[in-house]
Amino acid sequence: MTATPEVGFWTGSIAYSPAVGPAVTISLGASDANGTQWVLNDFSGLDGVPTAGQVVQRAGDHGGYASPQFLAPRPITLTITASAISQAQRDVARYALHQAIPVGSGGGSDLALFTFNEPVAKQCYVRGSGTAVTESCVSTSEVEFTVGLIAPDPRLYSAVQHSAVGTAGSRAAGLAPPWTPPITLPAGAPPASVSVTNAGNFETRPTVTIQGPITAPQVQNVTTGQIVSYSALTLGAGDLLVLDFMNRVGTLNGVYRPADVSSAWSVMPPGATTFQMLGTASSGASMTVSWYDAWI
């Protein structure tokens, strides 16, 4: 009878895909292809997040003024043990873990994906923090790491991305029975509308993709009334306008395209939100809303 490897009861992973070179994934709470057992012994930083901001003292009076305050980047510390079948494989594990922790020299997008398998799995993008990855070689085949990470975005996201699609012309707009001939249909196809739900406890930022044909496309957050518009833009069939609400930028077929200066980029708070695609659309134009649930 083969004994079950001791890999602990917390599971997750650190996955890094550099711009140049092979991708590397460390599966925590599992044995890898070399027979090394990776155990997540302890962690911190997956609960509350520090804030950035201050209260300014009142001049000549008690108390202070509450200046703007926001959530700071999320610091995370992991304690990991790698138990290998030999000293040589222990060293392979050492180098692999260091390789999986980027330092960010490739720019802001040079991040690893850390996943923690709670009952509802959470994930965030991280890189090495100001502290080094430290090692303690317990034996010739076992090493314990202390890994300092920093997540620039403090949110913890669902491991699964959700999406919802609305198509222009999929319903008759402004008409309700009973009808009395003659019937005049509204010009153009009716707008696409989708209702989405953020199942987390903190606001998240969606990505909205509009596919033509449509003229002067707009995306309205019906819940808040905020609109992102492109009044001078016409999309042909197959053209894709992608709106990144996190970074507040739009791209047309992969090329940056600024929105109207009057645009207001919105967020998805916890719970239900409705988005609507406006503009002069032909039947078949569509809007896809993609998002991750977010927790803090």
Render each residue's pLDDT in the chain as its tens digit; 296 residues: 444 567 778 999 999 999 888 999 999 999 999 999 999 999 999 998 999 998 999 999 999 999 999 999 999 999 999 999 999 999 999 999 999 999 877 666 799 999 999 999 999 999 999 877 999 998 999 999 999 999 999 999 999 999 999 988 654 333 344 444 433 334 455 678 999 999 999 999 999 999 999 999 999 999 999 999 999 999 999 899 999 999 999 999 999 999 999 999 999 999 999 999 999 877 789 999 999 999 99
CATH 2.70.98 assigned to domain 162-173+189-295? The reply is no
SS3 166: strand
Using CA atoms, how far apart are residues 73 and 157, in angstroms rounded to an integer? Answer: 14
φ/ψ of 264, rounded to 5, equals: -130, 115
Give the helix ranges, DSSP H, for the chain.
87-99
Using CA atoms, how far apart are residues 145 and 90, in angstroms rounded to an integer? Answer: 12
Q: What is the pLDDT of residue 192?
A: 85
Q: What is the pLDDT of residue 130?
A: 80
Q: What is the pLDDT of residue 16?
A: 96
Q: Are 8 and 29 in contact (CB under 8 A)?
A: yes
| Domain 12-46+70-158: top CATH class | mainly beta
Q: Are 157 and 201 in contact (CB under 8 A)?
A: no
Q: What is the DSSP letter of 191?
A: P
Strand partners, 151: 74
Using CA atoms, how far apart are residues 191 and 159, in angstroms rounded to an integer? Answer: 31
Q: How wide is the angle at C-alpha 288 spanned by C-alphas 287 and 291, nearest 5°?
A: 145
Using CA atoms, how far apart are residues 156 and 115, in angstroms rounded to an integer? Answer: 9
Distance of CA 85 to the CA centre of its chain: 37
Q: What is the pLDDT of residue 108?
A: 65
